[in-house]
Chain A
Amino acid sequence: QQQVKQSPQSLIVQKGGISIINCAYENTAFDYFPWYQQFPGKGPALLIAIRPDVSEKKEGRFTISFNKSAKQFSLHIMDSQPGDSATYFCAASWLGGGADGLTFGKGTHLIIQP
């Protein structure tokens, strides 16, 4: 049972463009939605996270949009740069059960073309 569905699997964006990655979740108990960024040969690292009490969170060029009723959230990368090329994972958990670990989407391989 896949509880977090992520799309697209791969994405190519021109430098300066907007990269958009989408995720949908099933478990309404989830209340913490992070995005992780992974470069080749490295472990994933937290990029940005959101709680469902807000619809949007922005940190620099990275924005999470959250739609609680649709059970969807997305990552927007503005002014995408070649250094943003990486694999991005959305994830979900519930803070009360934080020790259960994160449920990850399958990942999006993002390539930013110069």
Chain B
Amino acid sequence: DADVTQTPRNRITKTGKRIMLECSQTKGHDRMYWYRQDPGLGLRLIYYSFDVKDINKGEISDGYSVSRQAQAKFSLSLESAIPNQTALYFCATSGYGTPSSYNEQFFGPGTRLTVL
């Protein structure tokens, strides 16, 4: 089984709809991240979480919210989806250990979201 899973893998929705993307991990990591990938723009950080009580905004948090329901679960919500939120969304985790391993991030398979 995959260590980092994302659901759904693909989603088509309409402008104005609320949508939630979910991420679960079995790696036992404390830190979780949501990134957005757009062609030619690389990956950009939306939100990150130290643990269930610590949520932080990333580079492009406007229009998004998150919930850390448990150490293993981190959800991303679009309260009112708009077309320019069409992108590939990735969840990632990192764990506590040696300084070099601390920054290694493990990515899920991604969710392709299309907002019409």
Contacts and interface: CB of A to CB of B under 8 A. Distances in A.
B33 to A, nearest CB: 5
- Sorting the interface of chain B by its residue count into under 10, 10 to 19, 20 to 34 or 35 or more gives 20 to 34
Nearest to B43: A104
B100 A46 contact: no
Interface string A8-19: 010000000000
Contacts of A41: 109-110
B33 A45 contact: no
B42 A43 contact: no
A42 B48 contact: no
A66 interface: no
A96 B106 CA distance: 19
Contacts of B58: 100-101
B89 to A, nearest CB: 10
Give chain A's interface secondary structure class: mixed
Contacts of A93: 103
- Sorting the interface of chain A by its residue count into under 10, 10 to 19, 20 to 34 or 35 or more gives 20 to 34
B76 to A, nearest CB: 14
A51 B98 CA distance: 13
Contacts of B41: 106
Interface in A60-96: 89, 93, 95
6 contacts: A43-B108, A46-B106, A51-B100, A104-B43, A106-B40, A107-B42
Interface of B: 4, 31, 33, 35, 40-45, 48, 50, 56, 58, 90, 92, 94, 99-100, 102-110
User: Sorted from nearest, which 5 A-B pairs have the closest CB atoms?
Assistant: A43-B107, A106-B42, A101-B45, A104-B42, A104-B43
